[in-house]
């Protein structure tokens, strides 16, 4: 599957394309198939995302996951600061990243 990601222009936060909008949570990401470039062009021009790009992903029981470690770390947050990830209360939240 193919996923779209980028950063929010104002906050810089990592975001994922859900099919209709952008979400902070990788679990919300949608497979864009071959439509990625077209979506990115529109979204970037509208400044709803900054520096977007297309990545390879895979569907798992827990939802979509980026194929490459770099984007898995982007999806989670720094592995060395679990308190700063999107799920600070869940010590196992990053188990799938590495």
Partner 1 sequence: MYKYDEYDHAMVAARVAEFSDQVKRRLAGEITEDQFKPLRLMNGLYLQLHAYMLRVAVPYGTLDSRQMRMLAHIARKYDRDYGHFTTRQNIQYNWIKLEDAPAILEDLASVEMHAIQTSGNCIRNISSDQWAGAAADEITDPRPWAELLRQWSSFHPEFSYLPRKFKIAVIAAAEDRAAMRLHDIGIQIIEKDGVHGAAFYVGGGMGRTPMIAPLIKDFVPLEDMLSYTEACLRVYNRYGRRDNIYKARIKILIHELGADEYRRQVEEEWAHVKSLGIDPPKAEFDRIAKQFALPALDASAPDAIDRSDPDFAVWVDQNVAAHKVPGHAIVNISLKPVGGIPGDAGSAQIDLMADLAEKYSHDELRVTHAQNIVLPHVRKADLYAIWQELDAAGLATPNLDLISDIIACPGLDYCSLANARSIPVAQKIATRFSDLGRQKELGELKLKISGCINACGHHHAGHIGILGVDRKGTENYQLLLGGSGAEDVSLGTITGPGFDEDGIVDAIERVTDKYLAERTEGERFVDTFRRVGMAPFKEAIYG
Given the rule CB under 8 A, which residues bind partner 1?
7, 9-14, 44, 47, 50-51, 67-70, 73-74, 77-81, 84
Min separation Cβ 47 and partner 1, Å: 5
C-beta closer to partner 1: residue 34 or 98: 98
Q: Mind giving me the DSSP string for the chain?
A: -EEEEEE-TTT--EEEE-SSSEES-GGG----TT-HHHHHHHHHHTTSSEEEEEEEEEEETTEEEESSHHHHHHHH--TT-GGGSS-TT-TTTTTTT-
Min separation Cβ 19 and partner 1, Å: 23
Min separation Cβ 97 and partner 1, Å: 10
């Amino acid at each position: 599957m193919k996923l779209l990601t980028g950063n929010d222009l104002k906050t810089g936060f990592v975001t994922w394309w859900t099919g209709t909008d952008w979400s902070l949570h990788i679990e919300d990401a949608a497979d864009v198939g071959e439509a990625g470039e077209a979506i990115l062009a529109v979204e970037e021009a509208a400044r709803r995302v900054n520096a977007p790009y297309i990545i390879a992903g895979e569907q798992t029981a827990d939802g979509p996951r980026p194929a490459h470690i770099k984007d898995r770390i982007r999806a989670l947050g720094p592995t060395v600061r679990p308190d700063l990830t999107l799920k600070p209360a869940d010590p196992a939240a990053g188990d799938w990243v590495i």
